[in-house]
Structure formats: structure tokens, C-alpha cells
Amino acid sequence: MTDSDPTASPLSRFLVLHDYGMGGSWWWVHARSVREVRERFSDVEVVDSPETVERAETWELDEVEVDAAVMPAGLDELWAKREAQRGREGFGAFADRELLWLRRRWDYEDDDDQTIYLMEVGSDGRRLRQVELTPDGSGLSSGPDDWPFNPPVVDLFDPDLVGMEIGRQEFEAAWLSARPDEGL
């Protein structure tokens, strides 16, 4: 091992959440960095709010090292999903981006819904602003104050995001021409 070997760094304990909208699964993961956690497990966030970390100390959460051969239930699926993504072109392309603009369909189970969303996304995968493109071609704008929940909606390591990227100018033009979504 050399000093430049990342595995030489000491492990720290991170509170990890997989937020699935109306709930979530939690674990303690020992890793060398937040980035290492996010690079090893898909669709997770590292929660560092002191209040939440303190509360989580009282929960009976599974605890695992990032390099363990066996992962706890739920986390094992997120590890397997990430492993399947790892070798694909575009893996991690946006991992270090502070802002990202995307055009994507919402992940509804109903394939009949063809609604397209333009999203401005922060480094944690959460929407900052959004324009819903309506069937008549107009747009409805919304932001965090309009949403009852705002979990991370994209995983910045996901290689599928590469094909969804749009430019900031395209997003801003849609944002400026959109009307506020008063139905929220």
C-alpha cells in the first residue's frame, strides 16, 4: 500500500438513506468518503444533519463496511444495481457536477403517461426547479416550496443520465416562458 492508495484512508461512519418517496431504508456504512458511499450504492444519500444523525443513534440500524462481502437486505440490491452500472459508458459522468439540467419522463409505472419534465438538479440529486411540459406545448414551473417532498430524484453516477442532459439555456428559456403550476 502506498500513501496515494485510497484504501489506505481510514474509514468513517456515515448514515446512509435510500429514500423511496413515502419512506426510506437506513444503514450505517463505514467508508473512506461520502463519494465512496455514493459510488458503491445506487440511489442513496449520505445524511449529515446533526439532529438526524443523533436520532439515528437510537435506531437499531444494520452497520456494514463499504467493502464487505455481504451487504444487509436492501443495501445489497443497491450495491448490485451500482455494479451493473459501473462498466457502462457514462458511469459517474455527472458525479462532481454542482448543477445539471435534464429532460426526462417521470418514473411512473404507467407507460401511458408521456409527461416530460425539464429539471434543474443540484449536486445531491434533488430538484431545484422544474418545468412540466404540457401536451399543448406550454410549461408549468415549480420549485421546492411547491413540493411536499423533495427526495433525490436522480443518482448522479447513473450512466442513463448522459442521454437526458440539456443545456442551461434550454432550461432557462423554458423556465422563463412557463407559468407557475397552481395545481400543486
Q: Where are the domains of the chain?
A: 6-86, 99-180
C-alpha cell recorded at residue 147:
413540493
Q: How confident is the model at residue 182 (pLDDT cuts 50, 70, 90)?
A: confident
Share of the chain above pLDDT 70, in %: 90
Least confident of 78-87, 95-104, 145-154, 165-174: 145-154
Close Cβ partners of 106 (under 8 Å, ≥ 6 residues apart): 113, 115, 117
Q: What is the pLDDT of residue 112?
A: 62
DSSP tag of 147: -
Detail the DSSP E strand segments found in the chain. Answer: 12-19, 24-31, 45-47, 63-65, 99-105, 116-122, 127-133, 139-142, 179-180
Confidence (pTM): 0.85
Distance between CA atoms of residues 104 and 164, nearest Å:
6
Q: What is the pLDDT of residue 113?
A: 59
Question: Is it the case that residue 2 has pLDDT exceeding 50?
Answer: no
Question: Is it the case that residue 1 has pLDDT exceeding 50?
Answer: no
C-alpha cell recorded at residue 156:
448522479
Q: How confident is the model at residue 81 (pLDDT cuts 50, 70, 90)?
A: very high
Q: What is the pLDDT of residue 147?
A: 86
